[in-house]
Structure 1
């Protein structure tokens, strides 16, 4: 899988996802990184990003939500042509 742009969103920051959605194209991937996340916030982000390829990297995953590993994240970085961090 080739990724044009890997968009990295730290959900521990208080950032409005809607401000960045216009910058995400069909060939892009959104990676949401967080220390912890509630099931409610997880589902909200999934709903907001439903039209986009989205993965989560959850460091402390008490709720057993779908998450990739750190090594998978490193592989994604290698596959993407560029990385954009949402700030």
Structure 2
């Protein structure tokens, strides 16, 4: 008789444990599902904005490269030429 009562309480405890796990996990799953749904809608709406931002960054980079090419390129060429001549004079032993 004592074993049957213990088994009954064990079964009830197992059912209550399963119910507790279900009740604590279900709201979390619902919140995550709703968040993912909203996030996918947000990404569809943000696709054009992200594309425009990428194009703006690309254009800014191109303008910066072009400007630096016009401003810095002569100085870089001059420094490279002077360094090359100095190295040639070192190799020839004239310096």
Tell me, yes or no, whether TM beats 0.5. Answer: no
TM-score band by shorter chain is: under 0.3
What TM-score, normalized to structure 1?
Answer: 0.18
Higher relative contact order (CA 8 A, sep 6+): 1
Q: TM-score, normalised by structure 2?
A: 0.17
| Structure ranking higher in strand proportion | 1
Structure showing greater radius of gyration is 2
